[in-house]
C-alpha cells in the first residue's frame, strides 16, 4: 500500500485543483495522510501541515520518507478528530485524499460537521473520492459526489469545483471525483456597515 501511494505524485493526483490551493503559507490539515506524500508536497509549498494518520506504520513511514518538512504527525481519525479538535486552531485548507470511502454513511455526516468546525472562515476543503466497485476486503463503502456535495451544502460549504479523472494506477473500473468547497468568509464589522 505504501509504495502504491507514493508511486503517484501530488501534482498528478491534484492536477485539476492545484489552482485552488492557497499560494501564501497557511495552516493545512491533511486527513488520512498515509505515508505523507500530500503533506510533504504542501509543506514544500511553504504551508504548515498537520498530518492526521491513524496507522502507526504509515506515520513511521511518513516521517522516514519525508524528513525535513514542516509536518506535525497526529494519531487521530475521522469522524471525531478529537485530538485535532482539542487544539482549537482552525485551518485554511483541509485535504482528504482517498479517505471518504472508508467511512459509512452516518460517519460521513459526523465527519463533515467536524471538518466544517475545523475550517477557518473563508477556508477550503479539498476531497478526492473513489467512485467504482467497492472492494469489501478493504473496508470501503460506496460514496457519490452528489451525497458529498449535499452533506457539505447542509453545513454552508459551497462547491467551487467538481471534476473527475481516471485512475492513475490504470484500473478501468475506478474513477476519482475531485471536489473543492469553500466556507463563507464572515465580513468584518467595517465591511458589514
The distance in angstroms from the start CA to the end CA of the chain is: 54
Determine the pLDDT at residue 189. Answer: 57
Tens of pLDDT, residue by residue over 25-34, are 999 999 999 9
Q: Where are the domains of the chain?
A: 23-88, 121-193
Determine the pLDDT at residue 134. Answer: 79
Tell me: pLDDT of 192 over 90.
no
Taking CA atoms, 145 is separated from 124, 135, 181, 187, in Å, by 17, 19, 12, 30
Q: Please identify which residue in the block is written with the cell numbers 506535525.
A: 72
Q: In terms of pLDDT, which residue wins out, 172 or 99?
A: 99
Which DSSP string corresponds to 79-142? TT-HHHHTT---EEEEEEES-GGGS-HHHHHHHHHHHHHHEEEEEEEEEEEEES---GGGT---
One CATH from 3.40.50.150, 3.40.50.1980, 3.40.50.2000, 3.40.50.300 for 23-88: 3.40.50.150
Tell me: pLDDT of 12 over 90.
no
Determine the pLDDT at residue 175. Answer: 87
Report the percentage of the chain scoring pLDDT > 90.
71
State pTM to two decimals: 0.90
Range among 67-71, 150-154, 167-171, 174-178 rated most confident:
150-154
Mean pLDDT calculated for residue range 104-117: 96
Q: In terms of pLDDT, which residue wins out, 112 or 172?
A: 112
Amino acid at each position: 500500500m505504501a509504495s502504491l501511494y507514493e508511486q503517484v505524485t501530488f501534482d498528478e493526483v491534484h492536477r485539476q485543483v492545484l489552482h485552488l490551493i492557497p499560494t501564501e503559507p497557511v495552516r493545512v490539515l491533511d486527513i488520512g495522510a498515509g505515508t505523507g506524500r500530500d503533506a510533504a508536497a504542501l509543506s514544500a509549498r511553504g504551508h504548515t501541515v498537520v498530518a492526521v494518520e491513524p496507522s502507526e506504520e504509515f506515520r513511521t513511514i511518513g516521517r522516514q520518507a519525508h524528513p525535513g518538512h514542516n509536518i506535525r504527525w497526529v494519531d487521530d481519525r475521522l469522524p471525531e478528530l478529537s485530538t485535532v479538535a482539542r487544539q482549537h486552531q482552525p485551518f485554511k485548507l483541509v485535504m482528504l485524499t482517498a479517505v471518504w470511502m472508508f467511512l459509512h454513511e452516518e460517519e460521513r455526516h459526523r465527519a463533515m460537521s467536524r471538518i466544517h468546525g475545523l475550517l477557518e472562515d473563508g477556508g477550503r476543503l479539498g476531497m478526492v473520492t473513489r467512485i467504482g466497485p467497492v472492494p469489501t476486503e478493504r473496508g470501503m463503502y460506496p460514496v457519490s459526489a452528489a451525497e458529498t456535495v449535499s452533506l457539505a451544502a447542509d453545513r454552508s460549504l459551497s462547491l467551487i469545483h467538481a471534476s473527475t479523472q481516471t485512475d492513475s494506477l490504470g484500473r478501468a473500473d475506478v474513477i476519482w471525483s475531485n471536489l473543492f468547497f469553500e466556507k463563507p468568509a464572515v465580513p468584518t464589522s467595517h465591511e458589514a456597515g
